């Protein structure tokens, strides 16, 4: 299923791998999507709508139609507060920001924008929404939009909507927005209100909001920077040319940290990146191939970290072991937080997606902390975070957020910055970097071996996979062990997984369609050995291939 590794994986991007930003922008404004083509329609996955102007899947018409649909939703939902608008450093984010403003201003929406030239990470938008809405109810509440395709290649653009709870919009909301946006596309934007883009910024609806200073100032409520500073750790960070590029120097200055920012370069081509496993440029902080620049410097730092383009994902590099797989660091963070956050309420447990390591299940059982296993998609954690039932929420794709140290809510969307800074606190308090901490965990609880593979899948095949039920997989054994559970719904909330998970005493596999690409993904984990993992993956692939043949 998975493609062979590209011969240039981990190498600097050659000139022929670089995009032409001007060609992207020209196609953004000139190309009209075909509303009859599923590949060119608006499609909200687990993290919003994504596509490329070169493919006719992320163009001016898409952004105008989606924003009109958001305005329609705001009106029906009675949301009349301001809208916090952020954008990352992808080439298509700036034109998408202008198009979004055209529609918002035409509807008289008060838009909160970062100062000119300042990019906006996803967690800063989530925090701004929650800070504004604290103590407010009803129509005065705010919401937000982030223009980002996350860690996707430089040719892509993306659009995410966060309602007043500050987290990713629920499936019902995005389905509504998606349907309305596609209807506007089919009508050639008839009904979409617009304001001339050159005058939109000059209207009284646009307000400057300093996302950066407010976020940086509040971050000390989440991470114990006094402890980090006193430990005298040498810290490093690579923003990967993303939206948090100016946040890191500000964090270092505000909390007087010995934090080296290894690069402040912003380039919409991302020419400084090393190629990912498939030969694509991808700002993925959990990829050993994409993270070669920082891992080469690991001996300079006690612990180092990176974030993806909108800074909602993290990557942790330790002196002891290099880049940590996301599941390893998430396990460390879960164990550490359950032990070292005494002000958190007893019911504030751990939330994880069903494809995240079962080591966290073992940690929760040992420490007596509540655990909620949820479907894939960070939106499923929002309610638990707001209600105080979750202290830490995470998913295996290196996304996580946590509460403030005193137990108050922080963000309801993924926060790569806070998760990365937590690694410095862990190292300072325990005297061991997260890699060493993980070794101690697995010595006590068992060491899981994990793998994830991807394969191409059409939209029809992805729909088939998403619709699988436990009855479709009547397996009694898996990789030589008795099957203990076949799940098509998440134990934490009873919602459909959008795929399937099969468990045994010492392993499991899960299969689901990608929410953002024409791929399907198979995950497997074994607490026995490499041979067992390979057998799990082999049998899982056979089952999935047969299901979508």
Residue 20: CB atoms within 10 A of its CB come to 14
User: Going by C-beta distance under 8 Å and a sequence separation of 6 or more, which residues neighbour residue 247?
Assistant: 121, 124, 212, 215, 216, 239, 311, 417
DSSP 82-136: -EEEEE-SSTTHHHHHHHHHHHHHHTT--EEEPPTT----HHHHHHHHHHHHTT-
Question: Measured on CA atoms in the order 533, 539, 544, 549, is the torsion positive or negative?
Answer: positive
Find tokens 């509440």 and name the residue.
141
Q: Say if CB 243 and CB 119 are below 8 A apart.
A: yes
User: Going by C-beta distance under 8 Å and a sequence separation of 6 or more, which residues neighbour residue 334?
Assistant: 350, 352, 360, 363, 364, 392, 394
Per the residue annotation, which of 93, 150, 331, 526 is the catalytic one?
A: 150
d(CA 99, CA 215) in angstroms, rounded, equals: 26
d(CA 48, CA 43) in angstroms, rounded, equals: 8
Q: Say if CB 200 and CB 105 are below 8 A apart.
A: yes
Find tokens 């750790």 and name the residue.
233
Q: Say if CB 501 and CB 486 are below 8 A apart.
A: yes
The distance of Cα 180 from the centroid of its chain, to the nearest Å, equals: 25
Q: Per the structure block, which two tokens stand in for 294?
A: 């920082």
Catalytic site residue 397? no
Cα torsion 442, 384, 309, 405 to 10°: value is -70
Q: Say if CB 70 and CB 52 are below 8 A apart.
A: no
DSSP 314-361: EEEEETTTEEPPHHHHHHHHHHHHHHH-TTS-TT-EEEEETTS-THHH
Active-site annotation, residues: 150
């Amino acid at each position: 299923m998975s493609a062979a590794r590209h011969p240039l994986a981990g190498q600097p991007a050659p000139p022929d791998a670089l995009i032409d930003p001007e060609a992207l922008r020209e196609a953004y404004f000139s190309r009209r999507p075909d509303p009859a083509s599923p590949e060119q329609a608006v499609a909200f996955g687990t993290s919003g709508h994504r596509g490329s102007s070169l493919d006719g899947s992320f163009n001016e018409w898409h952004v105008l139609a989606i924003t009109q649909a958001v305005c329609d939703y705001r009106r029906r939902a009675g949301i009349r507060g301001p809208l916090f608008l952020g954008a990352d450093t992808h080439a298509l984010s700036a034109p998408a920001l202008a198009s979004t403003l055209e529609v918002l201003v035409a509807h008289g929406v008060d838009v909160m924008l970062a100062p000119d030239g300042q990019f906006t990470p996803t967690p800063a938008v989530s925090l701004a929404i929650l800070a504004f809405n604290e103590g407010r109810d009803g129509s005065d509440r705010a919401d937000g939009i982030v223009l980002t395709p996350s860690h996707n290649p430089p040719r892509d653009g993306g659009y995410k909507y966060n309602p007043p709870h500050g987290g990713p919009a629920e499936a019902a909301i995005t389905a509504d927005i998606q349907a309305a946006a596609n209807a506007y596309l089919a009508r050639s934007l008839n009904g979409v209100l617009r304001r001339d883009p050159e005058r939109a910024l000059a209207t009284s609806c646009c307000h400057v909001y300093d996302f950066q200073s407010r976020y940086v100032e509040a971050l000390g409520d989440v991470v114990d920077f006094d402890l980090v500073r006193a430990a005298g750790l040498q810290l490093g960070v690579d923003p990967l040319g993303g939206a948090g590029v100016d946040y890191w120097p500000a964090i270092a200055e505000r909390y007087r940290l010995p934090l080296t920012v290894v690069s402040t370069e912003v380039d919409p081509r991302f020419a400084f990146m090393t190629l990912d496993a498939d030969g694509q440029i991808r700002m993925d902080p959990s990829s050993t191939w994409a993270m070669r620049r920082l891992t080469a410097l690991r001996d300079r730092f006690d612990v180092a970290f990176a974030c993806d383009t909108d800074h909602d994902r993290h990557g942790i590099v330790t002196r002891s072991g290099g880049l940590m797989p996301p599941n390893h660091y998430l396990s460390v963070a879960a164990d550490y937080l359950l032990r070292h956050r005494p002000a958190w309420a007893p019911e504030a447990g751990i939330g994880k997606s069903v494809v995240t390591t079962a080591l966290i299940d073992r940690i929760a059982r040992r420490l007596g902390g509540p655990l909620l296993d949820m479907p894939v998609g960070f939106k499923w954690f929002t309610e638990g975070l707001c209600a105080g039932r979750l202290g830490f929420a995470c998913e295996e794709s290196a996304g996580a957020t946590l509460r403030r140290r005193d137990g108050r809510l922080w963000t309801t969307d993924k926060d790569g910055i806070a998760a990365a800074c937590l690694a410095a606190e862990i190292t300072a308090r325990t005297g061991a970097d997260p890699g060493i901490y993980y070794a101690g965990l697995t010595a006590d609880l068992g060491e899981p071996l994990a793998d994830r593979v991807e394969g191409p899948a059409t939209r029809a095949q992805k729909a088939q996979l998403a619709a699988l039920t436990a009855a479709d997989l009547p397996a009694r054994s898996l990789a030589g062990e008795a099957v203990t559970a076949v799940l098509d719904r998440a134990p934490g909330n009873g919602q459909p997984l959008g795929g399937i998970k099969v468990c045994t005493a010492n392993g499991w596999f899960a299969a689901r369609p990608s929410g953002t690409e024409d791929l399907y993904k198979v995950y497997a984990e074994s607490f026995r050995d490499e041979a067992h993992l390979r057998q799990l993956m082999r049998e899982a692939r056979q089952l999935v291939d047969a299901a979508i043949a």
